[in-house]
Homo-oligomer: A and B are copies of this chain.
Amino acid sequence: MLNFNYSIPTQIFFGKDQIQVLGKEIKKYGTKVLLAYGGGSIKKYGVYDKVVGILKEENIPFWELSNIEPNPRIESVREGVRICRENQIDFILPVGGGSSIDCAKVIAAGFYYEGDPWDLVIRKAKIEKILPIGSVLTLSATGSEMDAGAVITNPETKQKLGIGHPNMAPKFSILDPVYTYTVPASQTAAGTADIMSHVLESYFSNNTGAYVQDKIAEGLLKTCIKYGPVAIKEPENYEARANLMWASSLAINGLIRYGKEAIWSVHPIQHELGAYYDITHGVGLAILTPVWMRHVLDDDTLDKFVEYGINVWDIDSTKDKYHIANEAIDKTQEFFTSLGIPGTLGELGIGEESLEKMAKAVTEFNGGKVGSYKPLSYEDVLDIYIKAL
């Protein structure tokens, strides 16, 4: 187990009607609010009315940034920064899924930076100070509600990049599983795949000895395997929605990564796809993950895949090791397709045309090799894209 510094500062208010704490919590950190959200779903299903009702009741002045994209764009960040500056806003309240929260995080950092916020994303400038944010979650997927990272897309440069800073973590997040009842099956499936991918990116690491962390990781994976299908079949099953929601936060808040080195592999490959094609993040991950697994399975990684197969998929431990490993990968892929997620990039209408450009971009941006488990070269990444077609 490697050394680590544990600090998960976000307060979570989890459960039914926890929205009631919103006014009191905001007032701890700010006086003027930017309410940031995506499409119309929060309006359609009443969450918007509830939040706005509370802000009015508590006499908290607020401005709105709406239409944040599913893959949030730098243009929305710029617009958010503009609104905050114009109105001397001192607190950002994203209401939605990871897209709104990610966008809010970078607005919060961009507020204190004089140049273009994109500079922060491409590391041209350093984040110095950040506005406080608090979130109301309506989608179980990215874990942005309890972590310190964000992913922003720049369609002009065809880049989708991660950015992080300890102070980007929300001060609080309100997680009411009931708010996810209206998430459609396809988004529930993609969210489940996203959670599982976050876990797998840390689980498959070259460090041994972080046993506690791996046991927690296996528990989160089993949670997704158990409740993903239930939430799709019974969208208003509280137990399923609650377990998925809490798993989404725990998957990426640091808990399973502490004590391990885990520079992610599949996410950067998917981010490049997301920059070229506006596909659902979790769908891309679900397609790429099994392909990546087959690519990195070899004598060095075999034991970890065997552990994965036995502990997560309950595969008979007396079988041949490669048999277990391959069965585990098959089961992973079958699980994703059983949720209704397309099995190939081809099904999304993606062809060969940009694969080389994407593979080049992702390896170059990552300093020549992608990920730390089996560092992937240009050829590796290209092979993964091709096999995923």
Q: Which residues of A contact B (CB under 8 A)?
A: 1-9, 11-16, 18, 208-212, 215-216, 218-220, 222-223, 226-227, 238-239, 242-243, 246-247, 250, 258-259
Pairwise interchain contact A226-B243, C-beta atoms closer than 8 A: no
Pairwise interchain contact A246-B259, C-beta atoms closer than 8 A: yes
Pairwise interchain contact B14-A242, C-beta atoms closer than 8 A: no
A8 to B8, CA, bound (A): 7
A5: B residues at CB distance < 8 A: 11-14
Pairwise interchain contact A6-B1, C-beta atoms closer than 8 A: no
Pairwise interchain contact B11-A243, C-beta atoms closer than 8 A: no
Copy number in this complex? 2
Pairwise interchain contact B211-A223, C-beta atoms closer than 8 A: yes
User: CB < 8 Å: which of B12, B218, B258 contacts A14?
Assistant: B258
A157 shortest CB reach to chain B, Å: 37
Pairwise interchain contact A259-B11, C-beta atoms closer than 8 A: no
A42 shortest CB reach to chain B, Å: 21
A1-B246, A209-B238 known, 4 other contacts, Cβ within 8 Å: A4-B12, A210-B243, A212-B220, A212-B223
A246: B residues at CB distance < 8 A: 1, 212, 258-259
The 3 closest A-B pairs by CB, nearest first: A3-B15, A215-B219, A6-B12
A212 to B244, CA, bound (A): 9
Pairwise interchain contact B8-A14, C-beta atoms closer than 8 A: no
A207 shortest CB reach to chain B, Å: 11
Pairwise interchain contact B7-A11, C-beta atoms closer than 8 A: yes
Q: A14-B258, A219-B219 are in contact. Are A212 and B250 (CB under 8 A)?
A: yes
Which residue of chain B has its CB nearest to the CB of A5? B13
Pairwise interchain contact A259-B220, C-beta atoms closer than 8 A: no
A114 to B61, CA, bound (A): 43
A242 to B259, CA, bound (A): 10
